[in-house]
């Protein structure tokens, strides 16, 4: 059912957000590096073009009234030195072509000497430099245009893109690894608190004191508040059970006593039969109500089991002494045998007394008058309390089902009982990590019920 309330994982959401941020930063890094590198390469090409055009313009001179030029070798060699690009140039005076590629047009916008266009099937970058040369007594505007293809620039741009992409991928992988570490570190306090609560037993309602970051303080406070309310509710339930047991048993005991008085005074056989039936009904109601409340109390205390060092022999002696008067009413002899060399266990005294009282009460109830009940505490590696009677035994009942609630043997229908005595004893010994064993009396008729506790 808990899975139905889970909508998403904080860890998954945190990692997804960190991955997206890392991917965006990596992509931005690649684009920025590529743009800056391409701009630097373009500026370098422009500077070389300008230097080349300036060198050619500086070589202009006047001869016989005409503008002439001798193209310096260094002017074009500096362009060819940096790549395998093709270089074009043109020199014209006014509108007259002087030398170079005649179809190479000057830049259309004189405000920007640089321009990019297609020339002879390739994209070129060009620059135009203007000089005024005196020739034949006139000043002639002379323009030098130098252009270069951009294959080298494209190759440089491609290499830069590959390097930037590689660095970007490395950055993303590094950021991913750091994101995993950051998510693990961030969620570590929550995991520690979860493990601290998960390791607790079903009865541990102590406040959570695991160190937690301030963001989890409201959750810890709410959890501790819930535990405090739950503990208070359980204590109220325990008080209610104790009060209910008292209020139920006392009126029934009064009714039974009055019925017995009326039975002694009655002389009519039919009245005596009716009163005996009434007493039996009261006994059944009293036993059923008492054992139902006992079972509720046992269920509550096993949920809130308080384990303390106890003397099992002392608890057994005390329980026997309390029920000995009841046994003596039937002239039953209770034999006590305490042969254990050790008797210390850890458990809940009230629960153990309740379990022993129910077992001994069953033995007294099912054992015929003037018989013997043996209560024995032994230590054979595990402390064992066994109660053996000389009653009807378990008959042909399935022993594995007799510890179920309201389950009784077929040979005890005429005896008042609720079918909860063995259930209570079984739950108590199970709460103490032990087990209950049912067997027949090996020395005659009757049954033997043993509570076996593990060695502490």
Residues 273-282: contacts with CB within 8 Å, 24+ apart?
280/416, 282/252, 282/255, 282/256
Residue/partner pairs of 171-179 with CB below 8 Å, 24 or more apart: 171/22, 171/25, 171/26, 171/29, 172/22, 172/23, 172/26, 175/18, 175/21, 175/22, 175/25, 175/26, 176/18, 176/19, 176/22, 179/15, 179/18, 179/19, 179/22
Domain-wise residue ranges, the chain: 11-161, 202-304, 305-455
DSSP class of 81: T
Q: How far is 123 from 108, CA to CA, in rounded Å?
A: 16
**Bridging pattern class, strands 333-338 and 344-347:** unpaired
Per-residue confidence (pLDDT) for residue 315, from 0 to 100:
93
Residue 123 DSSP SS3:
strand
Query: What 3 state SS string does 187-220 have?
Result: HHHHHHHHHHHHCCCCCCCCCCCCCCCHHHHHHH
CATH number of the domain located at residue range(s) 305-455 in this protein: 3.30.565.10
Query: Quick count: other Cβ atoms within 10 Å of Cβ 58?
Result: 14
Sign of the dihedral defined by the CA atoms of residues 218, 219, 222, 228, in that order = negative
Question: In CATH terms, is domain 11-161 a member of 3.30.450?
Answer: yes
Tell how far CA 294 is from the center of its chain: 38
Q: What's the N-to-C CA distance of the chain in angstroms?
A: 38
pLDDT for 1 equals 45
pTM (two decimals): 0.50
State both tokens at 249. Answer: 């048993």
pLDDT tens digits for the chain (456 residues)?
A: 455 555 667 888 888 888 898 889 888 988 888 888 888 888 888 898 899 999 998 888 888 888 888 888 777 776 765 557 888 999 988 888 888 888 887 766 556 788 888 888 888 888 988 888 887 778 888 999 999 888 887 788 788 888 888 888 898 899 888 888 888 888 888 888 888 888 876 667 788 887 878 888 888 889 889 888 888 887 777 777 667 767 777 788 888 888 888 888 888 888 888 888 888 888 877 777 777 777 777 777 776 677 888 999 999 999 999 889 888 888 899 999 988 788 888 888 888 998 999 999 889 988 888 889 999 999 888 889 999 999 888 877 788 888 888 777 777 777 777 788 888 899 899 988 899 999 888 888 889 999 999 876
Same fold, 11-161 and 305-455: no
CB atoms within 10 A of CB 148: 27
Q: Where are the beta strands (DSSP E) in 295-434?
A: 308-311, 333-338, 344-347, 372-379, 383-388
List the one residue out of 74, 122, 79, 70 whose CA is nearest residue 99: 70
């Amino acid at each position: 059912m808990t899975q139905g309330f889970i909508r998403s994982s904080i860890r998954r959401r945190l990692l997804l957000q960190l991955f997206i941020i890392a991917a965006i930063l990596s992509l931005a890094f690649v684009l920025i590096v590529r743009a800056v590198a391409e701009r630097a390469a373009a500026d370098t090409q422009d500077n070389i073009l300008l230097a080349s055009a300036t060198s050619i313009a500086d070589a202009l001179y006047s001869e016989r009234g005409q503008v002439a030029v001798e193209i310096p070798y260094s002017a074009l060699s500096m362009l060819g030195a940096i790549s395998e690009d093709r270089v074009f140039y043109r020199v014209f005076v006014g509108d007259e072509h002087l030398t170079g590629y005649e179809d190479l047009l000057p830049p259309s916008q004189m405000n920007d000497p640089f321009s990019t266009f297609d020339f002879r099937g390739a994209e070129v970058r060009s620059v135009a430099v203007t000089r005024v040369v005196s020739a034949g007594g006139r000043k002639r505007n002379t323009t030098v245009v130098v252009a270069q293809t951009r294959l080298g620039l494209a190759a440089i741009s491609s290499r830069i893109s590959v390097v930037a992409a590689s660095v970007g991928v490395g950055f993303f992988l590094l950021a991913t690894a750091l994101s995993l570490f950051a998510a693990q570190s961030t969620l570590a306090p929550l995991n520690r608190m979860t493990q601290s609560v998960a390791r607790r037993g079903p009865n541990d309602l102590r406040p959570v004191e695991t160190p937690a970051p301030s963001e989890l303080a409201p959750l810890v406070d709410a959890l501790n508040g819930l535990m405090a309310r739950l503990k208070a509710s359980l204590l109220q339930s325990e008080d209610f059970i104790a009060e209910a047991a008292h209020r139920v048993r006392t009126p029934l005991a009064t009714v039974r006593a009055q019925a017995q008085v009326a039975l002694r005074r009655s002389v009519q056989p039919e009245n005596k039969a009716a009163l005996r039936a009434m007493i039996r009904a009261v006994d059944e109601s009293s036993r059923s109500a008492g054992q139902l409340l006992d079972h509720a109390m046992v269920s509550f205390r096993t949920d809130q089991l308080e384990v303390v060092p106890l003397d099992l022999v002392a608890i057994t002696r005390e329980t026997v002494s309390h029920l000995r008067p009841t046994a003596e009413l039937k002239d039953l002899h209770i034999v006590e045998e305490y042969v254990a060399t050790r008797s210390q266990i850890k458990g809940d005294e009230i629960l153990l007394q309740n379990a022993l009282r129910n077992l001994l009460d069953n033995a007294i109830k099912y054992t015929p008058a003037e018989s013997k009940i043996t209560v024995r505490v032994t230590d054979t590696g595990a402390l064992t309390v066994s109660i053996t009677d000389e009653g009807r035994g378990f008959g042909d009942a399935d022993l594995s089902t007799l510890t179920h609630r309201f389950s009784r043997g077929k040979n005890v229908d005429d005896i008042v009982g609720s079918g909860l005595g063995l259930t209570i004893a079984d739950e108590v010994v199970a709460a103490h990590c032990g087990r209950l064993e049912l067997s027949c009396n090996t020395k005659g008729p009757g049954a033997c019920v043993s509570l076996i506790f593990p060695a502490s």
